Structure formats: structure tokens, C-alpha cells
Amino acid sequence: MSYKLCSKVLVRMVEIMVLSAVFFTAAFATPDIRGDYENSVNAGYAGAYQVQDKNKVRVRVESGGSGLYFKSSLVAERWFGSTRFALGEYVPAFLRDSLENTFLYPLLGEQNIPDTMYLENAYLQGQKKRTILALGVQPVSWGSGYAWNPTDIWNTKDQLDPSYAQPGKMALRWEQGMGVASLTLVGGLEQSIKNSPVSAELKMYLGGFDWAITGARKYWEGMLNNGMLNNPIWENLGQSLGAGEEPGQNEFIPDSMTQMIFSELELFGNTQPVYQYTAGFWNSGQIAQLGLHSEWALHYKKTKNYEWEQWVYEILLGADYTLGVGNGVGVMAEYLYKSNGVHSESEYSIQQWMAFIQGRELAVGKHNGFLNLNYPHGLNQMLLSVIVNFSDGSLLVNPWYNVSITDNAALDIMVILPIGNENSQFGRNQYGSTVRFTLAF
């Protein structure tokens, strides 16, 4: 039996074990069933008005005792309104023409944002004192940053809502606490064990600061450099993306949808398998009542036989403070330096955008910033977020008002205001607003 087949069999066995354990646990304990309903109305303008309505229901089921239990959440999404979009509107005409009569052409035509149902989480967790062992599709949180986490190989954060729950990852997680230290090991379970992501973290609490060193490895496939882009289509597309000839981008198309499409397009551009190794460090604490955190990562990426390799480092510096105004205004600011980011919009390339859209890169600019102001007012909150790409001089301003309606109902009203020229990262975004109603049950 080949190694690959062995891996697949092993992964399947693990999945069966998880499901068996889940049902076994559920059978002997009363499940706790709850969830929430979200209705988001998105309105935007990019040459034409668009209105979408997303209905999202999440049902959570938990069962078991404190020592052994399982948690799961099932999500269903239905979209209404302006749910049709054409990727062809996002790329220049010459590309559409050149792809005609290829298997990729249908991807450029009109598509629906699909209604979906997926298992967001389903995992079994055993815990004995400070030892945790969890297996299944589970949330994996990593690093100290709020808007960006350079040491995190697992999640892709949306800077417009960084604290929004991330979908679970199929993984085995072991956490072990030891005095003021703790060790965390996470191994992902992909179809091939050899290509599954793994990460480790050793954390200590010393002198009022959390200190952690981390290491990780992951595998991905993507376009690498211009030398590998034999097809002139990609060079032209890269220049065009940099030149900003396409219309404004719709913020509300789900990341999973654009990632899938761009992934397929990327295949056309000659992809290579890449192994990425990450060594990192993060800390979090305070000096003189000023909250401080930082996250440092050094990434080494290479193809299997070293035809291509790249070193990238990323540094995140953050600070937070509560101003003594009214009930207190929480202020958080972060700065992200990315060694392989560009200095200006004229340097943008298709590879960068592909990697960024698919979540493999945190940002496209070399210098990036994030500012968040939070003012609680009674049971409500006013927030203002600003995401900045200092390298191309563009930013997104995102005022947000959260209203608590009842114990279990809330209303969020947010606006997206892009600022920057048409060639910049955020200048191409559309103006938009979202009204989100959430009801927990």
C-alpha cells in the first residue's frame, strides 16, 4: 500500500473515530442545543447599486461532562437579492477573450453566491486538569495580534471584523499547562498526512507579560514568481490589477467564493507545490498601564526540490489603552511590516494578489496599519475601525454601531468608506453598508 493511500486511510479512520466518539458521548449525556440567527443586509455601490440579504443560522450542540465532551456547530446560509456576479467584470476584457473556449471560461460568466450548509465545528475534547486533548473540526486561535497574526497558519482574518468566529479546522490539538508555562501542539488532518499543517507553541507568563515561541509548517500550491509565469495573460493581468482598470470590488462576496474561483484561475497560471516553515515569537502585556503586544514571524518557503525559495519576515506591533472619556474609550492600534509587501501600487503583481485573496499572505503592502476605537454607551457600543495600507496610501474607514435590543438580540450597523486612488488596494473597493440583526437562542 502506498504512503499516500495509507495517509488517506488513516485520515478516514480518524474521522470515523471522531464521529463515533461524538455519538457515543451524545448518547450518554443530555445535549445542550442552542444557536443564533443572523440576517445581514448588505448594500453597496460600484457603478451600480447592489443589495444582498444573507440569512445565516448556526445551531450549536454540546454534550458530555467537564472531563469529556463534544461541541459542534452546523451553519446554513441563504442569500437573496443581488447574488449574481461575474468574475469577468473583475478582470480586463483581453483576459476574458483569451480564455474563451477554455475550461476556465465559465468561471468568468455570471455565478450565484451559493446557498451553503457546512459543519463549522465538530470536535471531541478530553480534559484532565491542565491537559487538553481535542480531535475534530475545531477553532484554532493563534498569536497575540488583533487584526493580523503573522504566526498563525490556520486562519484568515477579515480586518473589517477580526473577532468574528473563524470556521473550525480538522485537527488534533494537545495543550499541556505546567506552572506558568504551557505547550500547545496542533496537527491538521488533510488528505495526505505529509502535507498536513502542524504548529507548536511554548508559552510562559513572566513579569506581567505572556511570552511565546512558535513553529509551524504548512503546504500549499500557488503561483510563485514571474519566471514561472510563461503565459503572458498573467503578466498582463498582473499589470492590469496594479493599474486598477477593473471596477470596484464587492466586499460582500464571501471569501470562500472568491478564494475558490481564484484558486482555479491560479491553476491556469502554472502552480507549484510549496512547503512553508514558520518560526515565530509573540508577547502580550503592559508597561505603565499601556497594553502592548507584538508578533514576529520568519517564513521560509520552498518548492520540493528547491527550484524556488523565499524568505519573508513579518512584524506586528500593537498597543491599547482606555481613555478616561465618559465610560472610557478603548483605543487599539496595530502596525504590520511585511518584508515582501510592495512599496507602492506600481509594484503590485498578480502573484501577490492571488496569494492575498486566498489568505496565504496577510497584506499586499509593506507597511500596514489598523486603528480601532470602542466607546460603550449604556448597553450599546460605538466603534470606529480604520485599516490603512501606508504603502499605496489607501484606507478603509469603518464606523460601526452595536445596539443591544434584548438579552439575546442585537443590531449592528456598519458602513464601509474606501479612500484612495483607483490603483490602490482599498481605493478599488466599493462604498457599502451592512445592517446585521443577530438573535441567539
Partner 1 sequence: MNYNGFLKITVFAWLGLYTTVAAMDVQQIIENMEAAEKIPYSVSVSKQTVQTPGGNSRTFTIKGYSIDNGEKSLSVYQEPARIKGEKILSLDDGNDIWTFSPKTNRVRHMATHMKKQKVMGSDFSYEDMGGGDMQKKYTITLLQQYTENDTAFYTLQMIPTEHGPSYKKVICHTNGTTWLVKKMEFYDENGLLKELVIEESRMVQGRLIPWKMVMKNKQEGGQTIVETLEMSFDVKPEEWMFTQEGLKRR
Residues at the interface with partner 1 (CB under 8 A) = 34, 36, 62, 64-66, 69, 71, 125, 127, 129-132, 138-141, 163, 165-166, 175-177, 182, 210, 284-286, 289-291, 320-322, 324, 327-328, 330, 376, 378-379, 404, 406-408, 410, 438, 440-441
Closer residue to partner 1 in complex, CB, 64/341: 64
Minimum Å gap between C-beta 298 and partner 1 is 24
Q: How far is residue 289's CA from residue 194's CA, in Å, rounded to a whole number?
A: 46
Calculate the CA 115 to chain-centre distance: 20
Cell numbers describing residue 115: 446557498
Report the residue number, 236 or 438, with the smaller CB distance to partner 1. Answer: 438
Judged by CB, which is closer to partner 1: 127, or 310?
127
Shortest Å, Cβ 391 to partner 1 = 29
Minimum distance between the CB of residue 258 and partner 1, rounded to whole angstroms?
Answer: 23
Judged by beta carbon, residue 99 or residue 134, the one nearer partner 1 is: 134
Residue reference for cell 443581488: 82
For CA atoms 132, 75, 118, 160, give the dihedral sign. negative
Using CA atoms of 242, 244, 247, 250 in order, give the dihedral in degrees to the nearest 10. Answer: 50
In angstroms, what is the minimal distance from the CB of 143 to partner 1? 10
One-letter amino acid identity for 383?
A: L
The grid cell for 286 is 503592559
In a 3-state reduction of DSSP, which class is residue 201? strand
- Which amino acid would we find at residue 189? L
Min. distance of Cβ 125 from partner 1 in angstroms? 7
Shortest Å distance, C-beta 376 to partner 1: 6
C-alpha cell at 188: 491538521
Instruction: Let me know if 216 is exposed, middle or buried by CB neighbors in 10 A (0-12, 13-18, 19+).
Output: buried
Nearby residues of 6 by Cβ (< 8 Å), 6 or more positions away: none
Helix segments in 34-168, DSSP class H: 93-99, 105-108
Burial class (CB in 10 A: 0-12, 13-18, 19+), 375: middle
Is residue 413 within 8 A of residue 432, CB to CB? The reply is no
In the bound complex, what is the minimum distance in angstroms from residue 186's beta carbon to partner 1?
Answer: 11
Residue with cell 490589477: 241
The residues facing 77 across adjacent strands are 56, 116
| Smaller CB separation from partner 1, 142 or 348 | 142
Smaller CB separation from partner 1, 184 or 430: 184
Task: Report the residue number, 227 or 324, with the smaller CB distance to partner 1.
Answer: 324
Asked if 62 contacts 265 with a C-beta cutoff of 8 angstroms, the reply is no
Please, what is the minimum distance in Å from the beta carbon of residue 154 to partner 1? Answer: 11
Q: For residues 425 and 353, what is the distance between their CA atoms, to the nearest angstrom? A: 10
Cα 355 to Cα 262, 418, 428: the distances in Å are 9, 22, 18
Judged on CB neighbours under 10 Å (0-12, 13-18, 19+), 65 is exposed
Between 93 and 180, CB nearer to partner 1 = 180
Q: And the C-alpha cell for 400?
A: 460601526
- Which C-beta is closer to partner 1: that of 157 or that of 299? 157
- Closer residue to partner 1 (CB): 319 or 417: 319
Side chain identity, residue 274? V
As given in the structure block, the three cell numbers for residue 438 are 443577530
Min CB(69)–partner 1 separation in Å: 5
d(CA 220, CA 271): 10
Q: Which is nearer to partner 1, 241 or 332 (CB)?
A: 332
